[in-house]
Chains A and B, each alone.
Chain A
């Protein structure tokens, strides 16, 4: 576990149990290329397109970027599409509450870069792209690593580095395809999947960088090893960004199926946000009985997403946090689709209105009905899933913070600390 921000740590500090497949153990440095090769050996190319896909299927690897789509199906679809496919490693990580992709890239870049080469071989790709949100210094460092690997004749395809703009939707699949094809990083209306028609019209594999790093480990150590962590249905590990109630932000690699109470200190928490800003709020007491697994979370309207978990301290108003994030999400809308462009600002404004009990002000009770109606009007009506994710987040807040809504209607707020909790900037 790596603490990346620390404030007000207590004596009996809560520490999740570490597992170390992708992140180096606490206190250990990142592996440079020589150390990476000593530890993991050469890239285990299979010699032919498609050869690795059966191992990936047997391992049960799913995407770690949020959608948990089976990796072998994506690989097979791109391979079957033929032509000259493109592999894109997606590390855009536009969500301000998530830092696992940035950390993975800095702490274990070669496992990601190996995964790109192996996915390219598996799909018969002739072009490989790494799409990440980095400053100029880190982009320079990454280009140096790529050149170093090419000089050492490790990489069969020289990876092209693309810098993603620092926007929430920059990593959305069709936005990424447009950006790499020379357009703006905005979502597109698609009539065909990117696996058939993606970057510059070629069949394209878009995969989260963590998924590709797991693929590299599967190629080396096999499906049985991969499945030795996690649950039978959801094997392996995932890197989580953990927002603890005391303000610490931790990164932890955890096996799927790990109890949430082993990852988050829930003793001081009132509610838990699971799966980030397109995810769902749950009361802390309920979350304490759940695990880091979609099989457990889906019944409660949540998913593991990209592994963002936040324990909202009991002294904070969940409605105020939801209103802040909803405003951010409305501003991050690409503004291209009418329902999203009209609905999200109204939803955000209604939440802000519901939050405001200054001087005993009583918000209009009709606001909740407005929120329900607008949520229904934006759901599934965009070119991308931004309105759907925003609605999931807002709807879960209305259920989880129901008693807070009741208090606000009477002109009271139970929050004692007004300082913002969830981050809105990277």
Chain B
């Protein structure tokens, strides 16, 4: 693990059903591809969007969105 890092958004692509609510709630960091699946900005969540990001995570109907502080497995 890489220890403490800035929080980043991550999607569980198996759980994601392409509902699209994430892109409506957090358009600053999430857009949808041509099939309706989320494309996440590859940057840490800025402080001013932290609350909105947490809200988006809890509102995903498939529970597929994550906020993570650790490195991802390779």
Which residues of chain A have a CB within 8 Å of any CB of chain B? 187-193, 336-340, 342-343, 377, 381-383
Contacts and interface: CB of A to CB of B under 8 A. Distances in A.
Given A192-B73, A193-B73, A383-B13, A338 B18 contact: yes
A338 B37 contact: yes
Contacts of A188: 14
A-B CB proximity, top 3 nearest: A337-B13, A338-B37, A342-B35
Interface residues of B, number: 17
Contact of A189 (B13, B33, B35, B36): B13
B16 interface: yes
Contacts of B33: 339, 377
Interface of B is mostly: loop
Interface of A is mostly: loop
Interface string B22-53: 00000000000111110000000000000000
A338 B73 contact: no
A189 B12 CA distance: 6
Contacts of B18: 338
Given A339-B33, A339-B35, A339-B37, A191 B73 contact: yes
B34 A338 contact: no
Nearest to B18: A338
22 contacts: A188-B14, A189-B13, A189-B14, A189-B15, A190-B73, A191-B72, A192-B73, A193-B74, A336-B13, A336-B14, A337-B16, A338-B13, A338-B17, A338-B18, A338-B35, A339-B33, A339-B35, A340-B13, A343-B35, A377-B34, A381-B37, A383-B12
Contacts of B58: none
A192 B16 CA distance: 19
A235 to B, nearest CB: 23
Nearest to A194: B73
A150 B14 CA distance: 41
A191 B1 CA distance: 11
A382 B13 contact: yes
Nearest to A188: B14
Residue picked from A189, A190, A336, A382, most chain B C-beta under 10 Å:
A189
Contacts of A339: 13, 33, 35, 37
